[in-house]
Amino acid sequence: MVIILKPNPGAAQVESLRKFLEQKGLQTHLSEGSNQTVIGLVGDTSRVDMEMLKALDIIEDVKRIQEPYKDANRKFHPDDTVVTVGDAKIGGGNFAVIAGPCSVETEEQIITVAKAVKAAGAKLLRGGAFKPRTSPYAFQGLRAEGIRLLLEAKKETGLPIVTEIMDLSQLDLFDEVDVIQIGARNMQNFELLRQIGKQNKPVLLKRGLASTYQEWLMSAEYIMASGNRNVILCERGIRTFETQTRNTLDVSAVPVVKHLSHLPIIVDPSHAIGISRYVPPLSMAAVAAGADGLIIEVHNNPACALCDGAQSLTPENFAKLMQKVENLRSVLK
């Protein structure tokens, strides 16, 4: 951490600031230039409150040099984390595709789709029971009944299931769910992160619509600091000025976050782009960039999907895509 002082700070004030910092167990290094005086801090700065420092009278600015996350930081945990769910492994060279409908609608629908995606090579089944919708008038999901239907589909196909929790009050319903998804809008719901961190089920943590890599990793840190290390990150598009796509897929997140962290990272091209026609090329891009998996919306009758039909693939198109992804992965090794 580097502290930049305001021009011409008083010597006594500087000395008192250094003492204050050294009492916190940090070493200080002073550089005095003609225009600028700077104090460098050495030691564990992850618990130093930058905002508090910025409020001090003699300080102009504070810049962090070291990342504020520890459990999620590759510097302290160089080996890739591998998350295991049933027979599937994600991370550390292991790749898995999660597929299924946006919303669970009926038993027939979810079982049909589950069988189709399994046949095409998907390792996990996704499906929304609790649905975050912008409008209070839109379909909000089958809720408890949706989870029951997912468990039916799991029984039928053996696929582990991934589904989103929207509020802590729903946690009891997730007992038999294999992977708990935390959606983009809840990425900074810190109470939820903390509580989910106290159980040991794998967590799929989607990146917030306007969250930086660092904020995303800090949210993973919340879960990990509570004890749960089974975190899978999921890039799902960020909000930009472009209006022809639902969001902008930030494919750079894959190599950059893999450099910063040991956690596995997968990509959700369906929500990123919002238009099914573009899901295959973006899936290929994500895999080529090194993603540890994909999560893709598949619906047996996209035109009738109760939500997000626009971005779902048919089972046929999904099977074609899986073949292409397999070919691609064969040349990446």
Instruction: Say whether residue 14 binds a second copy (CB under 8 A).
Output: no
Q: Regarding beta strands 203-206 and 231-235, do their DSSP bridges make them parallel or antiparallel, or are they unpaired?
A: parallel
Instruction: Say whether residue 287 binds a second copy (CB under 8 A).
Output: yes
Question: What does the alpha-carbon distance between residue 169 and residue 165 come to, in Å, rounded to a whole number?
Answer: 9
Q: Which of 298, 305, 321, 322 binds a second copy (CB under 8 A)?
A: 305
CB of 91 to a second copy, least distance (A): 16
With a CB cutoff of 8 Å and minimum separation 6, the contacts of 296 are 97, 98, 99, 268, 269, 270, 279, 283, 313, 318, 321
Please classify residue 49 by burial: count the beta carbons closer than 10 Å to its beta carbon, then call 0-12 exposed, 13-18 middle and 19+ buried.
exposed
Q: Which is nearer to a second copy, 200 or 212 (CB)?
A: 212
Instruction: Say whether residue 215 binds a second copy (CB under 8 A).
Output: yes
In this structure, are residues 104 and 129 in contact, taking their beta carbons and an 8 Å threshold?
yes
Question: What does the alpha-carbon distance between residue 270 and residue 110 come to, in Å, rounded to a whole number?
Answer: 18
- Pattern of binders to a second copy over 45-84, x per CB under 8 A? -xx-x-xx-xxxx---x-x-xx-x------x---------
Q: Which of 121, 256, 319, 320 binds a second copy (CB under 8 A)?
A: 256
Q: Which of 23, 93, 137, 172 binds a second copy (CB under 8 A)?
A: 137
Question: Of 98-117, which residues contact a second copy (CB under 8 A)?
Answer: none
In this structure, are residues 142 and 130 in contact, taking their beta carbons and an 8 Å threshold?
no
Instruction: Say whether residue 9 binds a second copy (CB under 8 A).
Output: no
Question: What does the alpha-carbon distance between residue 202 and residue 190 come to, in Å, rounded to a whole number?
Answer: 17
Instruction: Say whether residue 312 binds a second copy (CB under 8 A).
Output: yes
Question: Of 165-184, which residues contact a second copy (CB under 8 A)?
Answer: 166-169
Q: Which of 14, 82, 173, 310 binds a second copy (CB under 8 A)?
A: 310
